[in-house]
A and B are shown apart, each in its own frame.
Chain A
Amino acid sequence: MNMQAGIKLTAAEAALVDTYNEQLGDLPGDGATLLARDTLLSDLKKAGLPTRRIEAWHYTDLKALLRAVPAFVLGADAGRVDPIVPGSAVLSVVNGKAHARVMQEGITVRSYGEALLDGSAAGDLVARDSDDVIGRINGSFVRDGLSIDFEDGLVVESPVEIQSVQNCGQVNTRFPVRFGAGSKATVIERHLAVGKEAALVTSVTDVTLADGAEVTWIIFQSEGEADTHLAQFKAELGANARLRLYVINAGGKLVRQEIDVAVTGEGSDLTLRGINLLGGESHTDVTFNVGHDVAHTTSTEVIRNVVFDRARGVFQGQIRVAQDAQKTDAKMSCNTLLLSDDAEFSAKPELEIFADDVQCGHGATVIDIDHTQLFYLMARGVPENKARAMLVNAFVAEIVEELEDETLVEALEGVISDWLETHA
């Protein structure tokens, strides 16, 4: 917006600009890469961080919420943790530094830092549109990440866990991942913190599913109580491709997870399941966009939110159906349990439809725990806090159970119960 031009920078905005100037000689890549970074930063400086006047950021006034940016710490140690699902192949990213390694045959992993250095990643460093502040910040500062390729027809039995562990400072990563035609795999993208000090994490994942690929992708975010986590997940689905995307937020102080899916291949399907476990003074925003661009595609989205304490949650979801996308079947629902009078949840489930022969719908509810259910449990001798935890657990576990893989279900139920035990 023009009114922001020339406006004084906030402390966080100024810190971002300063950090960039300090790191300039140090960021991987020159030539086209550097030019792309410069453009993104100068746009960021010009537009500033978005306020609620920008519709895409209506419920997350980043300018007001992002008060400070922690300094960049080179070589901060973070270490590794056990994968969520035992037996997963782990790809480790420690404080933003990726460790590419040889995987089973058919999976090629390459350091993204190298792609930045040799200039082949320069084309990635562009903002989606003028509201894409995450793309701008990440593109300006990205140092590393992993490019992963699953070859055509490859079937991977056990999950691959991309484990990004951070400990304070700034972490900016990118993960371009391609799933070949007819390949099948489960990937867990995990972001977690080991330290208590504040960190600013930005991460952009860019996934392509070639025709007929079947992928389960799980994002599990458990950053620290002081951390800011700004992430994007982008996907493009080829013909008859199936993407099952689970997004679980269970940490962070200020979180924005953007999800952008282009359903571009006929017969493709997106299943999105979101679980937001919100507590403390955190602010968590999941902003989702799906575009159905061709005929005969389907998508279903179910988002379950549990909000404790003084936490604030946001879900913005948009289903777009293009004129040619006849016979689209899309359904979105967003259900929230508000468990404290100081908790807040705002939802904006949007439909934008240009085709006349489609079935689209959305539903949104905000409720409290069912008091009769609570009563029945307590009447059977279950103490109140436990009874509540059981009901809350049931509310979110329901959608985890849709995953048929038992070890995966067990592992995710485990992390959810752990969170509820410490927060409920």
Chain B
Amino acid sequence: MPAVQETIDQVRLIDVDQYKYGFETTIEMEKAPKGLSEDIIRFISAKKNEPEWMLAWRLEAYQRWLTLEEPTWARVDYPKIDFNDLYYYAAPKNQSGPMSIDDVDPEILKTYEKLGIPLREQEILAGVKTSKIAVDAVFDSVSVVTTFKEELKKAGVIFMSISEAIREYPELVKKYLGTVVPTTDNFYATLNSAVFTDGSFVFVPKGVRCPMELSTYFRINEKNTGQFERTLIIAEEGAYVSYLEGCTAPQRDENQLHAAVVELVALDDAEIKYSTVQNWYPGDKEGKGGIYNFVTKRGDCRGKNSKISWTQVETGSAITWKYPSCILRGDGSRGEFYSIAVSNGHQQIDSGTKMIHLGKNTSSRIISKGIAAGVSQNTYRGQVSTHRKAENARNFTQCDSLLIGDRCGAHTVPYIEARNASAQFEHEATTSKISEDQLFYCLQRGIPEEAAIALIVNGFVKEVIQELPMEFAVEAQKLISISLEGSVG
């Protein structure tokens, strides 16, 4: 069955020419000279007042990067990137790091206001209806403000920009940085290791349940710059944290590169919930401009019974190359991946996840929903593997896709690798099979077919949406009513 009208209308609402965040902030910027070299890396490191070991770490990654080749296996197509034609550092003048909100350039504050991101703690408090959210706001290469730092500190939670953390908690950063995504991991992660400029650092100590939602809002503003952020989240034994990132960029004809690395570490019984609402500029109707989103995100369930859960709502970027993954190392650990990816216009998405079962009694769950419209290409690529010693590994995967129009493509590429007789893997990409039963039960109770389908679909999509923190579910709300009817595997 083709897509129903309601779905088509909903997808049109978020079509590429409806992009609301395409404005540009005019502000005086300080940039590193164009290009990439050891000197640029020294420049970035010096700007951030980094210790010597950090610079050495970056330079080593850079040397490694020079030997690597850009990956070509993904189902995306773009002209070769000239890595020497980019600015690797751009920061608002007089702002080389986070400062008190009163000192931040009003233009920047206005930008975040327009984006709907609350940066003033009292404003957030005024809106008592929602619970508190601490925000780290990253503008091009620097973090400009981090809110609720003091309050979080009382609970023992460290939430600050990674540049600050490198200076203030070098031992913690040193202990965990690069242990989930090593500097040798892949082309873009290695590049990020060499030139990352900012990002967030979260440390939740033993037994602490982080008292509020944490979030980082990434904004690319400057022309010709690449944004290379690095986020590191550590949840010690029994800790819990929920974190959300959002991202937007101005509308421009050129393509811009965003190559981030996110590392999560969950120790015994800890839980990390990481949500993304990715809304980078997707390019225009003709496919001109837009962000290349080449991101490495990985969580390490290092401790027993730990849990990492990724939720993503992807509507932006010209090209997305992203596979938030879980290494299920600790016995009894659990990984989850919930994703809604909508591609419009000329967007290309190659995204999915990896669930690597290493410990005993580990389980994982993947629910992915892709919707392709326009002339876009939407690929789910996911890997589920068990190690020989990973007894009783369990996986359930369900990925569905829907095509709107006959000029786009939807693709599913799962890799299922079982090396242990006690593994139980189920990969399911047929919606009709599940909904036939459900539909039957609804019809039997006298619910008309259209209403029954809406009911089932809402129930399914909510599964993903409800994983998002309440405050941000609104952003994804418009996707809720998208019908799964007529979807293909």
Chain A residues closer than 8 Å to B408, beta-carbon distance: 354, 356
Which of B233-241, B339-347, B417-425 contacts its partner?
B417-425
The answer to whether B403 has its CB under 8 Å from any CB of chain A is: yes
Picked from A339, A348, A358, the residue with its CB within 8 Å of the CB of B421 is A339
> How many positions in chain B have a CB within 8 Å of any CB in the partner chain?
40
Which residues 1-36 in B have Cβ within 8 Å of A in the complex?
A: 1-3
A343 to B386, CA, bound (A): 12
A355 to B402, CA, bound (A): 10
A355 touches B428 (CB 8 A): no
A361 touches B489 (CB 8 A): yes
A55-B73, A346-B415 as given contacts; A368 in contact with B422, CB under 8 Å: yes
Proximity string of chain B (383-406) to chain A, C-beta cutoff 8 Å, 1 when within and 0 when not: 000001000000000000101111
Shortest Cβ distance from B471 into chain A, in angstroms? 35
Q: Which residue of B lies closest to A340 (CB)?
A: B421
B427 touches A343 (CB 8 A): no
Chain B residues closer than 8 Å to A58, beta-carbon distance: 415
Shortest Cβ distance from B72 into chain A, in angstroms? 10
A363 to B425, CA, bound (A): 10
B388 touches A341 (CB 8 A): yes
B407 touches A323 (CB 8 A): yes
Proximity string of chain A (337-353) to chain B, C-beta cutoff 8 Å, 1 when within and 0 when not: 01111111111111111
Which residues 408-460 in B have Cβ within 8 Å of A in the complex?
A: 408-433
Proximity string of chain B (268-293) to chain A, C-beta cutoff 8 Å, 1 when within and 0 when not: 00000000000000000000000000
Chain A residues closer than 8 Å to B421, beta-carbon distance: 338-341, 343, 368
A345 to B417, CA, bound (A): 6
B412 touches A344 (CB 8 A): no
The answer to whether B262 has its CB under 8 Å from any CB of chain A is: no
A356 touches B425 (CB 8 A): no
B424 touches A353 (CB 8 A): no
A338-B420, A365-B426 as given contacts; A356 in contact with B403, CB under 8 Å: yes
Picked from A350, A355, A367, the residue with its CB within 8 Å of the CB of B406 is A355
B418 touches A362 (CB 8 A): no
A348 touches B413 (CB 8 A): yes
A349 to B429, CA, bound (A): 10
A125 to B343, CA, bound (A): 42
Picked from B1, B403, B420, B429, the residue with its CB within 8 Å of the CB of A362 is B429
A364 touches B416 (CB 8 A): yes
Picked from A323, A360, A363, A366, the residue with its CB within 8 Å of the CB of B418 is A366
B429 touches A354 (CB 8 A): no
Q: Which residue of A lies closest to B373 (CB)?
A: A356
Shortest Cβ distance from B18 into chain A, in angstroms? 21
A416 to B226, CA, bound (A): 60
| Residue among B411, B418, B425 having the largest count of chain A Cβ atoms under 10 Å | B418
The answer to whether A373 has its CB under 8 Å from any CB of chain B is: no
Proximity string of chain B (33-55) to chain A, C-beta cutoff 8 Å, 1 when within and 0 when not: 00000000000000000000000
Shortest Cβ distance from A147 into chain B, in angstroms? 37
Chain A residues closer than 8 Å to B469, beta-carbon distance: none
The answer to whether B211 has its CB under 8 Å from any CB of chain A is: no
The answer to whether A110 has its CB under 8 Å from any CB of chain B is: no
B1 touches A357 (CB 8 A): yes
B489 touches A360 (CB 8 A): yes
A346-B418, A356-B406 as given contacts; A363 in contact with B3, CB under 8 Å: no
A341 to B391, CA, bound (A): 9
A366 touches B2 (CB 8 A): no
A353-B401, A356-B403 as given contacts; A365 in contact with B413, CB under 8 Å: no
The answer to whether B488 has its CB under 8 Å from any CB of chain A is: yes
Shortest Cβ distance from A355 into chain B, in angstroms? 6
B409 touches A362 (CB 8 A): no
A356 touches B73 (CB 8 A): no
Shortest Cβ distance from B405 into chain A, in angstroms? 6
A344 touches B416 (CB 8 A): no
Shortest Cβ distance from A352 into chain B, in angstroms? 5
A55-B73, A366-B424 as given contacts; A361 in contact with B411, CB under 8 Å: no
Chain A residues closer than 8 Å to B428, beta-carbon distance: 363
Picked from B423, B429, B488, the residue with its CB within 8 Å of the CB of A363 is B429
The answer to whether A359 has its CB under 8 Å from any CB of chain B is: yes
The answer to whether B97 has its CB under 8 Å from any CB of chain A is: no
The answer to whether A33 has its CB under 8 Å from any CB of chain B is: no
Shortest Cβ distance from A208 into chain B, in angstroms? 29
B406 touches A346 (CB 8 A): no
The answer to whether A336 has its CB under 8 Å from any CB of chain B is: yes
The answer to whether A99 has its CB under 8 Å from any CB of chain B is: no
Q: Which residue of A lies closest to B392 (CB)?
A: A368
Chain B residues closer than 8 Å to A356, beta-carbon distance: 2-3, 403-406, 408, 486
A331-B430, A359-B488, A362-B489 as given contacts; A345 in contact with B410, CB under 8 Å: no
Chain A residues closer than 8 Å to B412, beta-carbon distance: 349-351, 362
A293 to B177, CA, bound (A): 50
Shortest Cβ distance from A331 into chain B, in angstroms? 7
A339 to B422, CA, bound (A): 9
A354-B409, A355-B406 as given contacts; A338 in contact with B418, CB under 8 Å: yes
Chain A residues closer than 8 Å to B388, beta-carbon distance: 341-342
A348 to B73, CA, bound (A): 15
A87 to B406, CA, bound (A): 50
Chain B residues closer than 8 Å to A366, beta-carbon distance: 416, 418, 423-425
Proximity string of chain A (363-386) to chain B, C-beta cutoff 8 Å, 1 when within and 0 when not: 111111000000000000000000
A346 to B433, CA, bound (A): 24
Shortest Cβ distance from A337 into chain B, in angstroms? 9
Besides A352-B409, A363-B426, 8 more A-B contacts (Cβ < 8 Å) are A340-B421, A341-B388, A347-B415, A348-B416, A351-B429, A356-B486, A360-B488, A364-B426
Spell out A's residues near B (CB within 8 Å).
55, 58, 323, 326, 331, 336, 338-368
CB<8 Å pairs between A and B, sample of 12:
A58-B415, A326-B406, A340-B421, A341-B388, A343-B421, A344-B418, A345-B417, A345-B418, A346-B418, A356-B3, A365-B424, A367-B425
- When A and B form their complex, which 3 residue pairs have the shortest distance between CB atoms, in order from nearest? A361-B430, A361-B489, A356-B403
